[in-house]
């Protein structure tokens, strides 16, 4: 097989409406060949995406990590997602934060939001909830859970807006997604107010705990 032939097999594969197992085999073999011959991270991402679509998350992780070694920007968000949601059976927030941070540095909006969410959820809110539970303050734990719901709902609307802009283009996408954007902005305002109140109360609990200690 030559590089040209491998590219041809990969292009032809996407024109097949219902690929057979043999088609899948030829496609993955062609991409694996291209990967070895060219070291092109785009081939790594394509192969990783193919395995991800078939829920073979271990192999998806393998090829996304290969692309990340070549500092290919698109790999970072994919890796952050896999580790954040534990697609391979293990959640690792430290690795997820690392890759989402790298993706955010490339201008990825979703990743930037995830980094902010990480800081708020995993370092601030979880800390206050844990302390409140330890000190017998169940009302603070309930409030923390409510804030989680607002954050995740706001994120969902942000992703809807981003998806519409990707599908329809920036100009038309902004027009179509305007109502979703308004809801997302309102939710973010509510989120910021709740966080401010919650963190202030959390600081009071922490201060009183230190004084008692």
Q: What is the pLDDT of residue 192?
A: 64
pLDDT tens track, the chain, 213 positions = 788 888 898 888 888 888 899 989 999 999 999 888 899 999 999 999 999 988 899 999 999 999 999 999 889 988 988 888 888 888 887 788 888 888 888 877 777 777 766 666 665 666 565 655 655 556 655 665 666 666 666 666 666 666 666 666 666 666 766 776 677 677 667 666 665 665 566 556 555 554 555
Q: Report the pLDDT value the prediction gives residue 1, as an integer from 0 to 100.
A: 78
Residues 134 and 23: their CA atoms lie apart, in Å, by 57
Q: What are 125-129's contacts with CB under 8 Å, separation 24+?
A: 125/195, 125/198, 127/202, 128/198, 128/199, 128/202, 128/205, 128/206
Superfamily of domain 3-105, CATH level 4:
Tetratricopeptide repeat domain (1.25.40.10)
pLDDT attached to residue 47: 92
């Amino acid at each position: 097989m030559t590089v040209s032939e491998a590219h041809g097999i990969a292009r032809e594969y996407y024109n097949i409406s219902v690929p057979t197992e043999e088609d899948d085999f030829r496609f993955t073999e062609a991409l694996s060949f291209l990967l070895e011959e060219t070291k092109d991270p785009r081939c790594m991402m394509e192969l990783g995406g193919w395995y991800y679509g078939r829920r073979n998350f271990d192999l998806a992780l393998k090829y996304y990590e290969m692309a990340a070694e070549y500092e290919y920007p698109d790999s970072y968000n994919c890796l952050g997602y896999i580790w954040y949601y534990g697609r391979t059976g293990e959640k690792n927030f430290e690795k997820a934060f690392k890759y989402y941070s790298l993706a955010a540095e490339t201008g990825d909006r979703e990743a930037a939001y995830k980094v902010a969410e990480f800081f708020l959820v995993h370092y601030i809110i979880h800390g206050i909830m844990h302390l409140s539970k330890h000190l017998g303050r169940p009302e603070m734990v309930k409030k923390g859970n409510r804030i989680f719901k607002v954050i995740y709902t706001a994120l969902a609307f942000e992703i809807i807006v981003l998806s519409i802009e990707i599908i329809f283009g920036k100009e038309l996408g902004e027009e179509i997604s305007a109502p979703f954007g308004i809801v997302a902005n309102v939710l973010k305002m509510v989120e910021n107010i709740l966080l401010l109140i919650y963190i202030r109360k959390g600081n009071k609990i922490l201060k009183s705990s230190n004084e008692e200690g």
